[in-house]
Structure 1
Amino acid sequence: MNGRQIILDHINGREAAALMVDGQLDDLLIESDAPRAGTIYRAIADRPVKGQGGMFVKTPDGSAFLRQVKGLAPGDRILVQVTGMAEPGKAIPVTQKVLFKSRYAIVTPGAPGLNVSRSIRDDDARDALLAIAHAEAGEADVGLILRSACEGAPEDEIAEDVRAMLDLCEAVMADVEGDVEMLSEGDGPHVAAWRDWSEPADVVTEAGSFETHGVLDALEAADGDEVALGSGAYMYVEPTRALVAVDVNTGRDTSPAAGTKANFAMAKLLPRALRVRGLGGQIVLDLAPMAKKDRRGFEATLRAALKRDVIDTTLVGFTPLGHYELQRKNARTPLTELLK
């Protein structure tokens, strides 16, 4: 099926949301047992980590790790926000840079300023949105970013969303005193889909829609390692304890350009393959044979594909052995764990 579909359902008793683009599973959110990203805690500083500039803090959901700590002593009460998934046996990753994020607005305590997404280029639209920002948040001592979803949206809905985020921000930021406590829970898959998948799409909410709209078939394919690249080429995406290995193969094509074509196809499809599998950390690409003169074009293609991705990924570069390395944020629980 052509076009975009947002499908809201449950799988194995877990709330889930799938984004299908032209019949392909493009993104996937499934509730996990870990604390949700975006959850805000009142935490208590516990013990510093010498040599790393970080500190373990106590939260109601267990120990969390806070990086780049300055002026914080054990026993201090602070507000922290969950930034991603805690790896097995490790502390919950948190930050002191708390954000309040909704479909139309992001409120940024400690970072004042009124801004509109750079993807909105129409001057009249930007002026109208800035007028809303000044009307709703001009007197606030926090920052406000109006997101790209604001373009074409009703002004009253945008204003209402901004007010809701400002009210939540005010209530949470004032609640510092007391024992460890969850002050605001992060969004579940259905709300996160409404918040972040803002481009026009058909929304399907009927129970069982994962089966009737091909999501379960796509999940079965994503639960495996092999991803077709076209023209008989394929890649294997295999998570290990230390890293995610991606192996590119040309299949039966033995022409001189086969390796280059397969590598470029992999670069375009890799973000989606990692996204729907919930994989992050160190990513090592074992590329098909390719001339060194094509490396720059490959890297540009990969960078362009990752620019459209929702998860932060850093391009590290080529190794002496010709592998390519990336560092990707561990933002989600791996799909293989959620489908057990």
Structure 2
Amino acid sequence: MKGRQVVLGTLFGQEAAALVEDGVLIDLLLSAEALTPLAPGAICRGVTDRLMKGQGGAFVRLPDGWTGYLRDRKGLGEGKPVLVQVTGVAEPGKAVPLTSRLIYRGRHVLVTPGAPGVNVSRRVRDPETRDALQSLGETVRGARDHGLILRSIAAGAEPTEIAAESAQLLDLADQIGAETVGPPELLLDAPGAHEQAWLDWGDPAPDAIEKGEDSFERCGVLDAVDALLSPRVVLAGGADAWIEETRALVAIDVNTGADNSPAASLKANIALARDLPRQLRLRGLGGQIVIDFAPMPKRDRGTLEQVLRAAFRNAGGEVTLTGWTAMGLFEMSRKRDRVPLRRLADAVAEGL
């Protein structure tokens, strides 16, 4: 189907949502229940367990016996409660990644306690619309010590709808902000995959919303997921790449296939670079990433880097493109903010 589709269904018996554009799977949201009860976005009251001197962080006791790691230990003391938000899915045997900078997400606004001010998304370019949203945000926020960010979708929403959602989130931030005493406790659960899709995929508005038990099969999502569960990525011209996760890093290898022309390597490398943000996002991969591009002259490295930077510029997520090693490998890192698709499939299979 041409156009933008939001597909709501289930995957591996878990709630899931898919974003499809012109028949291509662009994004995939998964429930993390099979891996952890503390999914990215959950807000907890934790208790500082141990300060890591020299590393600038602290281990935090969380609900249900889980342990988290908070990188910023400023103002913390051992045994003291602290409000934290889960930022990613922990690797096996490692602590849950946390932040003390809480964000309350809505469809039209974000509320940021401790970061006062009203800001409007840069994607809203019309000056009159920006001024109207700025004024509305300042009126709703009032004298509260919370920040308010108006998302781009707010430009087309009714002021009453924006104001109602803002007031609700501000009240929630006040309520949770007062929960500073007590043992570890889950204060706000992370949104499910369907709710997250409603929050994040409304701008631009989808051309269709598909639901039902067979929605993933009917819309071709299951076929796309099967391809993602394989390490092999098929590229144009007979080239391919292999994306494999190890405990230490994600390793990627690019091959030209049967094409022996002088430009084959650069073409294969550019094809992988353009699709890499989507592949990592859909597979839920992050951390340290090392790419062994197909052999090419050093003079082509600059061109390839430009393609990589352009591909990741609007891809979302925290990405750092480090550069080339002495052995000709390319290093980068991506924040682990997604449920790893392969690990979720294995966890569900083991539980059956």
The answer to whether the superposition gives a TM-score over 0.5 is yes
Q: Deviations over 1:57-103 (max 9, x none)?
A: 11113111111212311111111111111110011111111111112
Correspondence for 1:141: 145
1:81 and 1:95 in contact (8 A); partners too: yes
1:103 aligns with 2:127: no
For 2:232 and 2:157, how far apart are their aligned partners in 1? 40
What is the deviation of 1:262?
A: 1.1
Q: Deviations over 1:281-315 (max 9, x none)?
A: 11111111222222222112111211222321111
Correspondence for 1:39: 42
Q: Deviations over 1:236-255 (max 9, x none)?
A: 11112211111111112111
1:43 and 1:77 in contact (8 A); partners too: yes
Amino acid at match of 2:322: V
Report SS of the residue matched to 1:339: helix
Alignment of 1:52-131 (within 5 A): 52-61=55-64, 62-131=66-135
Amino acid at match of 2:313: K
More divergent stretch after superposition (145-154 vs 162-171): 145-154
More divergent stretch after superposition (113-122 vs 136-145): 136-145
Amino acid at match of 2:45: R
Report SS of the residue matched to 1:190: helix
1:227 aligns with 2:251: no
Q: Unaligned 5+ residue runs, structure 1?
A: none
Q: Deviations over 1:253-275 (max 9, x none)?
A: 11111111111111110011111
More divergent stretch after superposition (234-243 vs 108-117): 234-243
Q: Deviations over 1:13-34 (max 9, x none)?
A: 2100111111111111111232
Alignment TM-score, normalising by the size of structure 1 = 0.97
Q: Number of residues paired by the alignment?
A: 340
For 2:264 and 2:293, how far apart are their aligned partners in 1? 11
CA RMSD of aligned residues (A): 1.3
Q: Deviations over 1:207-252 (max 9, x none)?
A: 2201111111111111101112212121111112211111111112
Report SS of the residue matched to 1:72: coil
Correspondence for 2:54: 51
For 2:193 and 2:268, how far apart are their aligned partners in 1? 33
Correspondence for 1:265: 271
Select which of 185, 210, 226 maps to 2:216.
Answer: 210
1:36 and 1:188 in contact (8 A); partners too: no
1:8 and 1:205 in contact (8 A); partners too: yes
Q: Deviations over 1:96-151 (max 9, x none)?
A: 11111112111111111110011111111111111210221132221111112212
For 1:160 and 1:88, how far apart are their aligned partners in 2? 41
Q: Unaligned 5+ residue runs, structure 2?
A: 347-352
Q: Deviations over 1:39-72 (max 9, x none)?
A: 1111111111232121111111311111121231
Report SS of the residue matched to 1:331: coil
Correspondence for 2:349: none
For 2:328 and 2:212, how far apart are their aligned partners in 1? 48
1:278 aligns with 2:277: no
Select which of 288, 294, 312 maps to 2:294.
Answer: 288
For 2:297 and 2:14, how far apart are their aligned partners in 1? 46
1:29 aligns with 2:29: yes
Report SS of the residue matched to 1:300: helix
Correspondence for 2:261: 255
Amino acid at match of 1:328: R
1:169 aligns with 2:173: yes
For 1:83 and 1:92, how far apart are their aligned partners in 2? 8
1:242 aligns with 2:248: yes
For 1:162 and 1:304, how far apart are their aligned partners in 2? 34
Amino acid at match of 1:23: G
Amino acid at match of 1:36: A
